[in-house]
Amino acid sequence: MSTTADTVEKKGYDVEEIRAQFPILKELVHGKPLVYFDNAATSQKPRRVIKAESAFYATINANVHRGVHTLSTKATEAQEAARETIRKHINAKHAHEVLFTSGTTASLNLAAFSLGQLLLKPGDEVLISGMEHHANIVPWQLACERHGAKLKVIPVTDSGELALGASDHLIDQLSDRTRILAISHVSNTLGTINPIKELIAEARKRGIITAVDGAQAIAHLNVDVQDLGCDLCAFSGHKAYGPTGTGVLYGREELLERMPPWQGGGEMIDVVTFAKTTYAKLPFKFEAGTPHIAGIIGLGEAFRWMEDYDKAAMAAHEHTLLEHATTELLTIDGLRIIGTAKEKVGVISFVIDGIHHYDLGTLLDQQGIAVRTGHHCTQPLMERFGVSGTTRASFASFNTVEEIDSMLAATKKAAKMLR
Amino acid sequence: MSTPSTLVQAQQEVVDEFALFSDWQDRYEHLIELGKDLPVIAPEKKTEENIVRGCQSRVWLSAEHKNGLVHFTADSDAMITKGLVALLVRVLNDRRPQEILNTPLTFIDAIGLREHLSPNRSNGLVAMLDQMKRYALAYSSIP
């Protein structure tokens, strides 16, 4: 299977062919065609994914790894096939390095809790960046509080890039007490693609464990965990064309073997006595309780769907959308883009002088355009840029240049109404 | 504008006023105008204590009890929120606490702006309405 995968021909990029697969794009909002630009919050789902999830319930619903009956076997096979699909997609060495969770937040909480137990002593440091989502701040803060460690932060430049040190000292904030580097691959608010491969290499040289928040990268970039060299990588299914309530924590086998479990319960045990419990082998040690089986099967289908296309072509399409939106938005009087890094995915955050993001978001919605407004769960970053919130448009493979033109016209109309 | 005699009548007036608009743009333009016309809240009343926190927009609300009636002043940092704040203040202002507590508020639904009172909007309006009722409840025990 894996030997032929590389030779499988990818579909050519035809945005209309892609759009036809997303039933929701035919919906009207306030009587207008939906323009969905909130993909960084959650992406829409192709029909295949919706079908796979409901087909599970209609045909093979049973608990996994439990029964000897046929349905349980089929459900288990389908779930484990999804794990293998994802392993291949992110180029993990082993399928048991792919842990299923409820989403990036759960993945990062697992990582922070378990790594904290394993590694952190009073006076140790955890290094994050100033552009992290709250989900990659608060779990580490909690871990630091539990173990008397300190949270250090890599600052963010005016263009929305990491303020890294001089060339011989890539990260100024690394010290001999740094135990963990937890960093986003792509900023959900700014769209910045961080040079994480270099950061990880620098951290590894010093024996620092690296955890990547890959939530915004997985659907837009080629994520190869072996090439990145990270120890852990967290992402959600629902931002990658998959169902909500699904997520992954990738972990390097040797590290996962050493990490203590996060949640206890069924499925994760080997032998339970009241004196001592021994744990199941990977990945089950970290998958207590009945997983979201239907969702995981849908997630596997979402990755198979992405595999059908050339991810570089998808990324190129999204980059075209980003460039068009950037050029055109800047023609609006008083508009400022927050996040102007050289390397960006299709995420564009902006503010307009004298216009509140709530008002703009409301008036865009009236015109059928779904954008996100507010602080995007990155309050420290909002403070860094001196704004209370932004309006954010985030693109996916199914968006078009025409939709961006609709957003521009709608934004101009809204700005006129609000001034 | 003189105060309509009951809260029910005050709400009907708003509904009649909005019935004149046939599309979203006119409706929202009117709302924005109402926000602009809202009497400015005194800066000393824009305190942390008077802030009703929303995730997206902020609302300030203060209340006074005069001659048995409740008088509200309010503001918001977002214009559409401010327009809705102006409508709430207009219908609820200078009424007896019991009337505020006992009359269902139906006009927001009736003018098609209900979505702004959904918890999802996190604009501070739901919290503001709760706070208005809490003031009314507190004043209702004062003779």
Residues on chain B bordering chain A, Cβ-to-Cβ distance under 8 angstroms: 24-25, 28-29, 32, 55-57, 77-81, 116, 122-123
Q: What token pair was written down for B68?
A: 């048995």
CATH (domain of B61): 3.90.1010.10
For the cut 90, the answer to whether the pLDDT of residue B117 exceeds it is: no
Q: Does residue A41 sit within a domain?
A: no
Rounded to the nearest integer, the mean pLDDT of chain B is 89
Residues A279 and A391 in one domain: no
Residues A348 and A413 in one domain: yes
CB contact under 8 A, B28 and A417: yes
Confidence band, pLDDT 50/70/90 cuts, at residue A167: low
Q: Single out the residue in A288, A307, A326 at which a domain terminates.
A: A307
Task: Give percent of chain A above pLDDT 70.
Answer: 97
Q: Which of A402, A389, A398 is nearest to A346 (CA)?
A: A398
CB contact under 8 A, A359 and B24: no
Please tell me which of the candidates A30, A359, A388 has its beta carbon nearest to residue B24. A30
- Range with top average pLDDT, A169-183, B20-34, B54-68: B20-34
Cβ–Cβ under 8 Å, residues A108 and A136: yes
User: What angle do the packed helices B24-37 and B79-92 form, to 10 degrees?
Assistant: 70
Residue of B25, B28, B36, B56 to mutate, interface with A, max A Cβ within 10 Å: B56
Which of chain B's residues have a Cβ under 8 Å away from the Cβ of A30? Answer: 24
CB contact under 8 A, A358 and B57: yes
Q: What token pair was written down for A354?
A: 């004298």
Question: What are the angstrom distances between the C-alpha of A261 and each of A136, A181, A284, A288, B143?
Answer: 19, 20, 10, 9, 61
Q: What digits encode the pLDDT tens for the residues A215-260?
A: 999 999 999 999 999 999 999 999 999 999 999 999 999 999 999 9
For the cut 60, the answer to whether the pLDDT of residue A203 exceeds it is: yes
Strand-strand pairing, A35-36 and A178-184: unpaired
Average pLDDT over residues B92-102: 95
pLDDT of residue B44: 86
Q: Does residue A45 sit within a domain?
A: no
Measured from the Cβ of residue A375, the count of other Cβ atoms closer than 10 Å reads 19
Q: What digits encode the pLDDT tens for the residues A299-339?
A: 999 999 999 999 999 999 999 999 999 999 999 999 999 99
How many domains does one find in chain B? 1
Q: Which helix (H) or strand (E) holds A183?
A: strand A178-184
Q: What ipTM is given for this predicted complex?
A: 0.90
Q: What digits encode the pLDDT tens for the residues B69-85?
A: 999 999 999 999 999 99
Q: Which of A248, A252, A254 is nearest to A234 (CA)?
A: A248
Three-class DSSP category at B72: strand
Per-residue DSSP letter, B31 = H
CB contact under 8 A, A356 and B79: yes
Please tell me which of the candidates A374, A388, A417 has its beta carbon nearest to residue B32. A417
pLDDT of residue A6: 52
pLDDT of residue B3: 67
CB contact under 8 A, A359 and B80: yes
Q: Single out the residue in A262, A286, A307 at which a domain terminates.
A: A307
Residues A264 and A336 in one domain: no
**Residue ranges with strand state E in A324-398:** 335-338, 347-352, 369-370, 372-374, 390-394
Spell out the alpha helix ranges (H) of A334-400.
357-366, 379-384
Residue of B29, B55, B57 to mutate, interface with A, max A Cβ within 10 Å: B57
How many angstroms away from the CA of B26 is the closest CA of chain A?
10
Q: Does residue A46 sit within a domain?
A: no
Residues A218 and A296 in one domain: yes
Can you tell me the distance from the alpha carbon of A207 to that of A409, in angstroms, rounded to the nearest whole number?
A: 52
**Residue ranges with strand state E in A63-134:** 98-101, 125-129
Residues A90 and A235 in one domain: yes
What's the domain range around B113?
Answer: 7-140
Average pLDDT over residues A405-418: 97
What's the domain range around A212?
Answer: 52-307
Q: Which of A244, A337, A303, A289 is nearest to A95 (CA)?
A: A303
Cβ–Cβ under 8 Å, residues A210 and A232: yes
Residues A340 and A298 in one domain: no
Residues A348 and A385 in one domain: yes
Q: Single out the residue in A267, A282, A307 at which a domain terminates.
A: A307
Question: What are the angstrom distances between the C-alpha of B33 and each of A295, A360, A418?
Answer: 47, 16, 9
Residues A326 and A217 in one domain: no
Cβ–Cβ under 8 Å, residues A257 and A118: no
Can you tell me the distance from the alpha carbon of A344 to that of A325, in angstroms, rounded to the nearest whole number?
A: 13
For the cut 80, the answer to whether the pLDDT of residue A168 exceeds it is: no
Total-model pTM: 0.93
Can you tell me the distance from the alpha carbon of B58 to that of B66, in angstroms, rounded to the nearest whole number?
A: 26
pLDDT of residue A166: 65
Measured from the Cβ of residue A100, the count of other Cβ atoms closer than 10 Å reads 24
Q: Does residue B127 sit within a domain?
A: yes
Can you tell me the distance from the alpha carbon of A285 to that of A342, in angstroms, rounded to the nearest whole number?
A: 41
CATH (domain of A317): 3.90.1150.10
Please tell me which of the candidates A366, A374, A417 has its beta carbon nearest to residue B55. A374
Can you tell me the distance from the alpha carbon of B90 to that of B98, in angstroms, rounded to the nearest whole number?
A: 17
CB contact under 8 A, B55 and A375: yes
Q: Does residue A9 sit within a domain?
A: yes
Question: What are the angstrom distances between the C-alpha of A370 and each of A41, A387, A391, A405?
Answer: 11, 21, 10, 14
Cβ–Cβ under 8 Å, residues A250 and A225: yes
How many domains does one find in chain A? 2
Which of chain B's residues have a Cβ under 8 Å away from the Cβ of A389? Answer: 56
For the cut 90, the answer to whether the pLDDT of residue A27 exceeds it is: yes
Which of chain A's residues have a Cβ under 8 Å away from the Cβ of B55? Answer: 374-375
CB contact under 8 A, B78 and A358: yes
Residues A297 and A323 in one domain: no
CATH (domain of A213): 3.40.640.10
Q: What token pair was written down for B141?
A: 């025990």
Residues A188 and A248 in one domain: yes
For the cut 60, the answer to whether the pLDDT of residue A181 exceeds it is: yes
Q: Any idea of the CA torsion for A268, A274, A276, A282, to the nearest 10 degrees? A: -10
Q: Does residue B105 sit within a domain?
A: yes
Three-class DSSP category at A216: coil
pLDDT of residue A30: 93
A6-34 in b/e burial notation, b at 16+ Cβ within 10 A?
Answer: eeeeeeeeebeebbebbeebeeeeeeeeb
Q: Does residue A188 sit within a domain?
A: yes
For the cut 80, the answer to whether the pLDDT of residue A5 exceeds it is: no
Strand-strand pairing, A209-213 and A178-184: parallel
Residues A191 and A340 in one domain: no
For the cut 90, the answer to whether the pLDDT of residue A17 exceeds it is: yes
Q: Does residue A42 sit within a domain?
A: no
Q: Which of B3, B33, B5 is nearest to B18 (CA)?
A: B33
Q: Does residue B2 sit within a domain?
A: no
- Angle at Cα A343 formed by Cα A338 and Cα A346, nearest 5°? 65
Confidence band, pLDDT 50/70/90 cuts, at residue A398: very high
Cβ–Cβ under 8 Å, residues B102 and B137: no
Q: Does residue B74 sit within a domain?
A: yes
Task: Give percent of chain A above pLDDT 90.
Answer: 89
For the cut 80, the answer to whether the pLDDT of residue A277 exceeds it is: yes
| Range from A117-126, A171-180, B36-45, B121-130 carrying the lowest mean pLDDT | B121-130
Size of interface A-B (CB pairs under 8 A): 41
Residues on chain A bordering chain B, Cβ-to-Cβ distance under 8 angstroms: 30, 356-359, 361-363, 366, 373-375, 388-389, 413, 417-418
For the cut 60, the answer to whether the pLDDT of residue A2 exceeds it is: no
Can you tell me the distance from the alpha carbon of A220 to that of A222, in angstroms, rounded to the nearest whole number?
A: 7
Q: What is the DSSP string of B49-117?
A: TTEE--SSS-EEEEEEEETTEEEEEEEESSHHHHHHHHHHHHHHTTB-HHHHHHS---HHHHTT-GGGG
Which of chain A's residues have a Cβ under 8 Å away from the Cβ of B56? Answer: 357-358, 361, 373-374, 389
Average pLDDT over residues A33-48: 98
For the cut 90, the answer to whether the pLDDT of residue A276 exceeds it is: no
Cα dihedral sign, A195-A241-A38-A390 = negative
Confidence band, pLDDT 50/70/90 cuts, at residue A72: very high
How many angstroms away from the CA of A388 is the closest CA of chain B?
8
Q: Give the residue on B whose Cα is nearest the Cα of A387.
A: B56
